[in-house]
Amino acid sequence: MTIARVRRLILTDFRGYDRAELMLDGRSVFLFGPNGAGKTNLLEAISLLSPGRGLRGSSIADLGRRRPEETVGRAWAVAADIEGDDGAVSVGTGVEAAGASRRLVRLEGEAVPPGRLSDILRLVWLTPREDRLFLEAASDRRRFFDRLVFAAEPAHGARVSAYERAMRERMRLLTDGPADADWLTALEAQIGEAGAAVATARARSLQALQAQIDSGAERAFPRADLGLTGAFEQMALAGVVEAEIEARLATALAASRDRDASAGRALTGPHRGDLSVRHRLQNREAADCSTGEQKALILNLVLAQAARLSDAKTTPNPVVLLDEVAAHLDPLRRAALFDEIEALDLQAFLTGADGALFDGLHGRAQGVRVDAGELS
């Protein structure tokens, strides 16, 4: 395991913060205070120390602090010192002008592509947005699972983007024209290549997560049996090689042009798959479990991913962001969560309105009170 710990965090004109600074000792951190005080904003700031749009998926232009009389957000910045095996490195991200929509990333003061952040820090997070994960549309579960895949394989984000971009262009040709056959064939080849890589990465991550769940000791969080329902993910799970999946996907798309044009959407491909989760002990689909069991199942997936990444020898161990998770757990599972974080030797950031939720972390983590953008 390679070390990754946030040791210092500085926010400038970010969300509701004029300027805030946290000096950390490498242990986990619990943030408590009234609703609306800015706890989730701190987690969002940390989440932007990875490629992408962070745990809220917000527009970059919306992240800057804005007074009531200001029409656009200010230029904002998030900076951190990250402790690694060879010492601390300084990373930062933000925009240089008010309302700018493209964020910049710096490593030791030098501009670098956002993808370089994955070399420094891997992040896994869980927010209240996922509370209804098993009851919402398949697209929500795909996004959730793709984020887990991305934490292990940062190239997955580019694969998904390439797939979606080529798929949009194909649908534009089919619905608006001109439906040039050669152009469509070229796009379908691109979709086949990117889609096969997406499906294979999903299958690879699912198998690794299932192995991690199965190998762990019995704990307060229920074990899950995982599956992927997409036809191309199923091929990958069955051992079909990526080149063959690529060819089959391109062929299937070519055969469904008329059908897709009539439907106004592509009816085949990895964008049609779903993540299935079954409570093993109860032998019940997650969607049919109680709200508490659903939350525990999701949390177990996140912990399994964190454990998997912690076992890796060549990538940074993950930092875990858990927003308002403790309040939804009974005392037994809350204590088990704290023990699991400590056993995995992870740095986690947890939020909650009531500081008493984190009594089990006293002496094992740093506590920070957040109130109206002030940290103490």
State the Cα–Cα distance between residues 74 and 68, nearest whole angstrom. Answer: 12
- The answer to whether the CB of 93 falls within 8 A of the CB of 122 is no
State the Cα–Cα distance between residues 35 and 262, nearest whole angstrom. Answer: 48
Q: CA 46, 51, 56 angle in degrees (round to 5)?
A: 55
Q: Comparing 108-112, 212-216, 304-308, which segment has the lowest mean pLDDT?
A: 212-216
Q: What is the pLDDT of residues 36-64, one digit of tens each?
A: 999 999 999 999 999 999 999 999 999 99
Structure tokens at 85: 């095996």
Give one DSSP letter per residue of 47-70, joined into a string: HTTSSSSTTTT--GGGSB---TT-
- The answer to whether the CB of 201 falls within 8 A of the CB of 193 is no
Give the model's confidence band at 217: pLDDT under 50 very low, under 70 low, under 90 confident, else very high. Answer: low
Q: State residue 167's pLDDT score.
A: 98
Q: State residue 312's pLDDT score.
A: 77
**Residue 219 in this model has a pLDDT that exceeds 80:** no
pTM for the whole structure: 0.93
State the Cα–Cα distance between residues 261 and 227, nearest whole angstrom. Answer: 30
Q: What is the pLDDT of residues 305-342, one digit of tens each?
A: 999 998 877 778 899 999 999 988 999 999 999 999 99
The average pLDDT across 73-88 equals 92
**Residue 3 in this model has a pLDDT that exceeds 90:** no
Structure tokens at 197: 């890589």
Phi and psi at residue 111, in whole multiples of 5°?
A: -65, 130
Phi and psi at residue 317, in whole multiples of 5°?
A: -70, 150
119's enclosing H/E stretch is helix 117-120
Give the model's confidence band at 218: pLDDT under 50 very low, under 70 low, under 90 confident, else very high. Answer: low
Cis check: omega of the bond before 178, within 30 degrees of 0:
yes
Structural domain spans, the chain = 1-122+318-376
**Do β-strands 284-285 and 319-322 pair in parallel, antiparallel, or remain unpaired?**
unpaired
Q: What is the pLDDT of residues 155-182, one digit of tens each?
A: 999 999 999 999 999 999 999 988 899 9
State the Cα–Cα distance between residues 29 and 366, nearest whole angstrom. Answer: 5
**Residue 28 in this model has a pLDDT that exceeds 90:** yes
Q: State residue 70's pLDDT score.
A: 84
**Residue 114 in this model has a pLDDT that exceeds 90:** yes
State the Cα–Cα distance between residues 200 and 206, nearest whole angstrom. Answer: 10
- The answer to whether the CB of 109 falls within 8 A of the CB of 274 is no
Q: What is the pLDDT of residues 275-310, one digit of tens each?
A: 999 999 999 999 999 998 999 999 999 999 999 998
Provide the edge-to-edge strand list for the sheet that holds 275-279.
224-228, 275-279, 284-285
- The answer to whether the CB of 373 falls within 8 A of the CB of 38 is yes
CATH number of this structure's domain 1-122+318-376, picked from the four choices 3.30.365.10, 3.10.450.630, 3.40.50.300, 3.30.420.40: 3.40.50.300
Mean pLDDT of the chain: 93
Q: What share of the chain is helix, strand, coil (3-state, %, to 5)?
A: 45, 20, 30
Q: Which of 130, 78, 42, 82 is nearest to 351 (CA)?
A: 42
% of the chain with per-residue pLDDT over 70? 98
